[in-house]
A = this chain, B = another copy of it.
């Protein structure tokens, strides 16, 4: 019996990994999984996984394990990914285009609605099925379509300025590929995915 208690970020950050692993297991034809197996696969302890899941409900069968299909359904509900979220990409450079062409969004609850750039050379060019739009019309389109999520793939120098426009237009979540911190109001969520940051986290541990 879960209480409507507040869930920590630490727990929330693990749930997408559980979902990813479960989808993988399901695609391999498995029906049931133990917290132990899931933990080994993800490098997370079994009690940790049981505790995380138990915060949201009793999804397992004692003596048996977890039904994979059911757990996937539950996790999608918890993470609000049992719908399709529309996203805009800002920046049609290498990273923006690569993300626009990424095939793995739609199965997992996300869809690119539009891609924007402010470079006249790029505006009007095709990226897969999309035509790059002028940033000028971006705020209006985001408001009209009530889009909540943006992928920021612009140069560092423009990142804050574009972020301000996005937030003003009603964006509530930003996946930030620009190599710079951006400042937003407290009700907007940001995930910073600068590859160099993650490389540097690893080089600390490497022998020179």
Contact = CB atoms under 8 A, between A and B. Distances in A.
Instruction: State how many copies of this chain the complex holds.
Output: 2
B20 A203 contact: no
B206 A148 contact: yes
Interface in A81-131: 81, 83, 85, 87, 94-95, 97-99, 101-102, 104-105, 108-110
- Select the residue from A41, A42, A204 with max chain B CB neighbours within 10 A: A204
Given A42-B181, A205-B189, A110 B20 contact: no
Interface in A177-193: 179-181, 183, 189, 191-193
Of all A-B residue pairs in the complex, the 9 with the closest CB atoms, nearest first, are: A98-B98, A16-B200, A173-B202, A94-B98, A191-B198, A16-B197, A189-B202, A80-B203, A94-B101
A79 B203 contact: yes
Given A201-B191, A205-B189, A196 B85 contact: no
Contacts of A139: none
A101 to B, nearest CB: 5
B85 A181 contact: no
A9 B147 CA distance: 36
A19 B196 CA distance: 11
Contact of A202 (B19, B99, B149, B204): B149
Contact of A204 (B78, B149, B181, B199): B78
B102 A201 contact: no
A62 interface: no
Contacts of A108: 196, 200
A99 B102 CA distance: 14
A194 B98 contact: no
12 contacts: A16-B196, A20-B197, A94-B102, A95-B102, A104-B196, A105-B195, A109-B199, A110-B196, A173-B206, A191-B198, A191-B201, A193-B193
